[in-house]
Chain A
Amino acid sequence: MSQRNAAPDGTARTRRTGGLWRVVFLLLAVGIVVPLLVGLYDSVDPRLFGFPFYYWFQFALIPVVSLLTWIAFRLSLRATDQDRPSYGLPTEPGSRSTGHEGGERR
């Protein structure tokens, strides 16, 4: 998706971080697609703590998707930093640095 966006130097990005972004989008895709496949989980049994499977499976999806999104978040931090130069941005945004780049912050 976004790694194919028309960047000034898009090819550099695809080579260096394309794989990383693919993992990120794969992790996110699980969270988007699995909850929509109702046929996977529309049964009463097995029950857990009295909850029919249909209900506890969806509850269980919440922390799982949350975890996947967290991993995606950590990976995206790295990929984003590596991508920045190819979009003509400074290596570090001013706010995350120690403040030396005050000149850029205006």
Chain B
Amino acid sequence: MNTVELVIFLFFFLLVTVIGFLAARWRRADAMDSLDEWGLGGRGFGTFISWFLIGGDIYTAYTFIAVPATLYAGSVVGFFAVPYTIVLYPLIFIFVPRFWSVSHRHGYVTPADFVRGRFDSKPLALAVALTGLLATMPYIALQLVGIQVVLEIMGIGGGENASFLEKDLPLFIAFAVLAAYTYASGLRAPALIAFVKDTLIYIVILVAVFYLPTQLGGWGHIFDVASQSFDKFNSDNAGAIASGKAAGKGIMPPAAAHWAYASLALGSALALFMYPHSLTGVLASKNRTVIRRNAALLPAYSFLLGLLALLGFAAIAAGVTVTNPQQSVPALFDKMFPGWFAGVAFAAIAIGALVPAAIMSIAAANLWTRNIYKAFINPDATPKQEATQSKLVSLVVKFGALAFVLGLGTQDAINFQLLGGVWILQTMPALVFSLYTRWFHRWALLAGWAVGMVYGTLTAYNVPVPGKAGSHFGGPLAIVPFTDTTKGYIALTAFVINVLVAVVLTFAFRALKVDNGRDETSPADYHADAGDPGVEEVLEGEPGTAPTAR
């Protein structure tokens, strides 16, 4: 255990904890007991603060820990995160402005709100809301894994022989602190902490991606060492690879894995903006133009994400040997940097995981309160009851995430995020297709969703961890139906099945003239911009939410 490292880490951790609790007083409203105040920060966030918040969706433990870990582990498809973040922005450009417009005209705050309004269907909205809640949990779990590996590398809570309590106690403490200040301060806490987080993260990223290669003989050498180490693994384990007990390693996908690579990238990109927390961030944008401009500007982040991913190879070149690949980047920092800087880096990673975990749990909680609690349980809820519900559910969601961490193996944490993608992508036909057309029948969309969810979950369940027969949820890839050997991202396969079911049943329901509900939106709603009639009015006091304190 390195004392300097630990002291620096604890300093920053305490700092953000204090900020987290003080955040309740920042831009303070009269009371924290309405959903607008707790869950949406009083809706007073301008472009600048929103930018930091949205940044939290991009630089998470996913970027820092999980993606480099897949490269360190020699996954041939590990670099898919880069095409994923390239493909993402043109997609946002195309469909998100429409979602922004219709949401601002009708006061929709969650994806399920829109589905309810468009299809006049509570069951379909419920399906979308439940999927959002479920899919957010493994994504938060990924953040907790990020915190866990940092703690392990610092020598607290880790160790092969540590007892269960010793091993997980520090994680529980970090988790309890996160839960407590989210409960107390709502969205204000992560928004304020995001400033500390982003500053630390940019320093660490820039130093890491420019300094480390100079110490490790340059990128060319790093690639060579990684490649040779994978070749050696493949020849040493040729028998196991041939029999399917181990996966072959490499620095790029062989032809057989091309579809796996492309489908992971496309599936992840389509999935990202279905998540409740992403859409909440987008709705905070000032107008449609901001969204499209950002779609062109945000890819700058992808560049750093790609360089960060390559730190997995840098760890190999630096001779880092860890049994859990998730530890590779923290171990690399520990080995290559002086204690104080490693402490800063670890703090950056841990805080960089806490912020999105808080934002995600709040967004999921809002989804519960608006689309399940108010829609089904207590339609006459007071603003105070709504806020109480959201606060409690933000805790429930985090405990769900903890269950994922403790219940599933953390060796391949990226699988958490990819499993969330399998589920959330099934809401796309109801959410995105219906931004363009109302051809689909609401019951057909619900049936498609159900089939996609069942297929995706079962298929993911049946994927064993490599080398462990009979284990479950071992990876995001499965053989695509009607092919012999082509593997693809389960989320995308399930999505295609989902759409096929929805199309076939739409024809059927239309032929039978089953009622398709009343659409409360009009075509102009999908083009309205800030300042248009009906748009600003909606922002000030929406039907279905508490009146704002302003």
Contact = CB atoms under 8 A, between A and B. Distances in A.
Interface in B292-312: 292-293, 295-297, 299-300, 302-303, 306, 310
B340 interface: no
B221 A25 contact: no
Given A35-B265, A39-B255, A50 B221 contact: yes
B293 to A, nearest CB: 6
A58 interface: yes
A38 B531 contact: no
A18 to B, nearest CB: 15
Contacts of B524: 7-8, 87-89
Interface string B79-121: 1001100110111011000100000000000000000000000
Contacts of B219: 49-51
B91 A32 contact: yes
Interface stretch (B45-53, B464-472, B532-540): B532-540
Contacts of A28: 90, 93-94
Interface string A26-65: 0011011001111100101001011110110011011101
Interface string A70-96: 101100110010011001111011111
Contact of A42 (B94, B253, B306): B253
B86 A62 contact: yes
Contacts of A49: 219-220
Interface string B203-235: 000000000000000111111000000000000
Nearest to A70: B296
Contacts of B437: 5
B526 interface: yes
B480 to A, nearest CB: 15
A89 B89 contact: no
A42 B531 contact: no
A73 B292 contact: yes
Nearest to A53: B252
B26 interface: no
Given A42-B258, A66-B297, A73-B93, A105 B220 contact: no
Contacts of B288: 80
Given A69-B90, A72-B93, A42 B262 contact: no
A66 to B, nearest CB: 4
Contacts of B265: 35-36
Contacts of A2: 94, 98, 436, 526
A52 B287 CA distance: 41
B261 interface: yes
A17 to B, nearest CB: 12
B543 interface: no
B289 interface: yes
B531 A58 contact: no
**Among A52, A61, A65: residue with most chain B CB under 10 A:** A65
B194 interface: no
Given A62-B306, A73-B292, A51 B523 contact: no
Contacts of B303: 59, 62-63
Interface string B154-196: 0000000000000000000000000000000000000000000
Given A95-B287, A105-B536, A58 B79 contact: yes
Interface in B502-532: 523-524, 526-532
Contact of B530 (A25, A70, A93): A93
Contact of A32 (B79, B87, B251): B87
A15 interface: no
Nearest to A10: B523
Given A28-B94, A35-B86, A69-B93, A50 B223 contact: yes
B321 to A, nearest CB: 23
B262 A94 contact: no
Contacts of B67: none
Contact of A97 (B83, B98, B222, B531): B531
B531 A105 contact: yes
Contacts of A32: 87, 90-91
Given A51-B223, A66-B300, A42 B93 contact: no
B527 A89 contact: yes
Nearest to B289: A77
Given A50-B220, A97-B531, A31 B90 contact: yes
B68 to A, nearest CB: 14
Contacts of B536: 94-95, 105-106
Contact of B533 (A47, A97, A104): A104
A97 B220 CA distance: 53
Contacts of A38: 253, 258, 261-262
A62 B84 CA distance: 11
Given A55-B310, A93-B530, A69 B289 contact: no
Interface in A1-25: 1-2, 5-8, 25
Q: Which 4 A-B pairs have the closest CB atoms?
A: A50-B220, A94-B531, A95-B531, A35-B83
12 contacts: A2-B526, A31-B90, A44-B252, A54-B79, A55-B310, A58-B86, A62-B299, A65-B299, A69-B90, A69-B93, A80-B288, A96-B529
Given A8-B524, A58-B83, A58-B86, 5 more contacts: A5-B436, A32-B91, A50-B218, A51-B220, A62-B302
